[in-house]
Each structure stands twice: as structure tokens, then as C-alpha cells.
Amino acid sequence: MTYGETSQALRHHLTGLLGTRHVNHLLGGAVGRQPAWRTPLEITASMEQIQRYRTAVWTYARDALLAVIPEDRDSTWGPVLILTRRVQNALAELTLRWLDLAELGTPQDLPLVEAWRRAAATAALGSMLEIEELAAHVTAAEAPVVVGDVAELVWAFARLDARYLAIPGWTAMADHVPAPGANGVPRRPKGLMTTAARCSDWAAQRIQPSAYRVDALGYAPTPPRPFGPLPRTVSSCADALDRARAHLAAEGLPNPHALRGIVADHVTLSARAARATDDPRLTATWAARASTYRALSAALRNVGGNLGRGRLAADETRFALTLLPDAGPTADDDLAWLEMALRRTDAALANVLALGVAQQGYFVTNRKRLHDTGVRAFAVPVFEPITALSHPDLGPLVRELRPPLPERPRQERPLTVDTAQAAAARQAFRATLDDTESGPTANASSPTPPTRR
């Protein structure tokens, strides 16, 4: 999947959402003389689910902006930096439950909710497969194309925010909550629209026809390894680590017991991997990795809590440890496969730890209080969410688990459309946004009103 395919799919989904009318009735509420056909609790649950899907697209917008903003930028990048800060602030202040892969991959019965799910699934796939390629290989001439695409996505979401604000249960993105009007009706969030429109104009002034080559930039998946028995080899260990990472993503936040087990197994695995190679670079890298995980294990020794799962990820990590040989000759391809598997595992664990701290999913007890039952008094531990004060070493260790991406050649796929068609598709979406009454009235992807019960 290329960047051009992802951006075109997102424009298609958002055009359909912008062309959807009577949103409240599509969710089950009353409109005009049409009575409500769902309960208020069901409508609220659907609104919360749509907002979780919206978070996935906002995350894609933030990651894409951060991937293409150059470090040696000049002062002309001001509109892009303002938009990036507003998107970051909006995401930082969200309090919704984290969107997991199971919810993202489950088709929904309501057409409107399904339309949002498809947009979120496209954005999540782009975040996982293309952001690294953009960060590694986008050029200065191609960056304005990505900036313009993201600005128009944010613009579309600001317009959708203004439309959905009247529905009970909808929360506008925190960075642009409008002030109440004269009649108590919230004003439309034009502040973010203006910021996005200004950023889109900034990008349009800098895009050259050749810049649309960025649409061909995409992710080249690693060829699947042949299926067979699982001997005690480095390649089998790498395969097991990839399966453990997949379980970690599917299970969500691991509980502290499973997390400590995973970290302890990686201490042993890193030390054993350092002995399994004759490459001085890999030996030093994996020995340092063992030290990092040893320090991380010490930092997590008093962390507790009942949230999360992680049993399958912990079991698969222990299985990977049993597959790694103690020493012996190893092919360079297998070592490269193991190195990539360990890098991906490090990034996954760093994201899990950062998420657990941010959502206060892990606790620590540093003191006790006296509990008097009337018959006898005894001390009980007081659990508090872990913070930077209680675990000052945890933050640096999490950042250390996110190593720089390895150098790899730029990978492009054949373009399905030429640059003129790519420009025309973006101009059509911009015309939809410029329409103050928003978008087309009929679109192939627009949800259809439900039949009355």
C-alpha cells in the first residue's frame, strides 16, 4: 500500500462523511416528525465509538506532519508548526478509551459508524506501514504534498466537528472547543478551520508537479518465511518474537505480572543473542540491550495493578527464548532477521509502557495506611499511579528502547494514476471543503438512512 493510495482512500471516506445529512437520525435519534428508533444509551455508545475512530485519523495526521517537518526548517514553516501543535494538543487532551485492533477490524451494523470505521482502519494502516517510509525518504520538495493532504484532513474534521456538536455525546477536539453563542448554541470551530486552510494554502504555493512522486512511496513487506518445523535456530526465535509482538498489539495493555515476565525474558534473550554471533557490532548492541532491559526490570519490580492481559505475549516470548541457541555459526540473513525482530519488539514495548503510564494503568505502593475495623487495626498498602517522581528512571529507559530507524533504500511502487490525476483529486477534495454548506449530496460511500422499525 502506497502513500497515494492511503491519502486517496481517506479523501474518499471523508467526502462521503461530509455529504451525509441528518446525522442524528442515522444514529437513531429523532428528526422532524420522525421519532427516535434507538435508545439514548445506544446513541451515546455509537457517538463514543465514532470519536474513538476519529482519534485514529487524528493520530495519522499528527504522525504524518511530524514525519515530514525537516529539522533544518526555516521561518516559512510557521503555519505547519502551528497546525502540528494544535493537532498534538487536541490528541493530548482526549480522555477516550484506547482504540484496539479488535474494534478497528469488526464491521459495524450502522452504516454511519461503519463509514467512520473504514476511515479509521485506513488511517491506522497508513500509520503502521507508511509513516516510517515518509520519515526516512520524503524529500524537501515532496513534503508540501503531505502537509497539504494532512491540512485538508484536519479541515474536514473541523467541519465535521461543527456538524456533530449538536448531537448529545459528541465532544469537539479540545484544542478548538467553540465558545457559546448568543442563544447558547456553540459557535462553529472556525479557528481550526482557518489554521488548516492557511496551511493548505501554504502547501499549494510550494507544490511542484514532480512532487507528487511521494504518492509512489510505500511499504515493501518482508517476504514471508517458509512454514515448517521449529528447530532451535535464530530464525525460529525471530519468528516467535514477531508473533509475541502481534499478541502484544492484540491484547492491548499487559498486566504488570506479564510485563515483568516479558522484560526478564528479554534480559536473558539479549545476552544469549550476543553470544550467538561473531559480529562485533551486534555483540555490542545486544549486550547494551541486555543492560537496558536489566535496568528496566529493576524499575518495574514494585509496579502492580490488575489492568491488562498479556499472557499470550509473555508465553510467546518465553517460547522464543527456548528457540534461541546458546552459540554456534549463524547465517547473516538470520541475524538481520533477528535484529529487525528485536527492534520492532523494543518499539512495541516502549509504546506499551508509555501508554500504561499515560493512562494510569500501572500502580506502585510506597506507603501504608492504618485501617481500623473496630475489632483490630492493621496496615494496608496505598496504591498510587506511577509517575516521573516515583519512577524517574522509567522515562529515559522507554526513550532508549526507541532506537533510530535503520537505513534502507527508498522503495517506490508503480503509480496507478499520473501526477495530473493526483493533483485533480486533491483539487476536487479542496473544492468540497471550500463549500460552506459542505460536500456533495450523494456519494457512493455515503451511509444511507436506516429503515424505520
Q: For residue 453, tell me if it sits in a domain.
A: no
- Long-range contact set of residues 257-260: C-beta below 8 Å, sequence gap at least 24: 258/308, 258/309, 258/310, 258/311, 258/313, 258/314, 259/300, 259/303, 259/308, 259/310, 259/352, 259/353, 259/356, 260/297, 260/300, 260/301, 260/303
Q: For residue 317, tell me if it sits in a domain.
A: yes
**Residue 216: per-residue pLDDT:** 82
The verdict on 19 and 166 lying in the same domain is yes
The verdict on 68 and 194 lying in the same domain is yes
Count the residues in the chain: 453
The verdict on 309 and 419 lying in the same domain is no
Number of domains in the chain: 2
Cell numbers describing residue 288: 547494551
The verdict on 396 and 421 lying in the same domain is no
The verdict on 73 and 200 lying in the same domain is yes
Mean pLDDT of 63-67: 89
* Residues of the domain holding 253: 234-358+392-400
**Residue 327: pLDDT band with limits 50, 70, 90:** low
Closest C-alpha among 189, 144, 152, 193 to residue 171: 189
The verdict on 69 and 214 lying in the same domain is yes
The residue with greater pLDDT, 87 or 389, is: 87
Mean pLDDT of 299-309: 75
The verdict on 333 and 420 lying in the same domain is no
The verdict on 315 and 416 lying in the same domain is no
Q: For residue 332, tell me if it sits in a domain.
A: yes
pLDDT tens across 422-437, in order? 888 888 888 888 774 4
pLDDT tens across 125-160, in order? 888 778 877 887 888 889 999 999 999 999 998 888
Q: For residue 77, tell me if it sits in a domain.
A: yes
Identify the burial level of 154 via C-beta atoms within 10 angstroms of its C-beta, where 0-12 means exposed, 13-18 middle and 19 or more buried. Answer: buried
The verdict on 53 and 128 lying in the same domain is yes
Mean pLDDT of 333-353: 83
The verdict on 353 and 295 lying in the same domain is yes
The verdict on 396 and 424 lying in the same domain is no
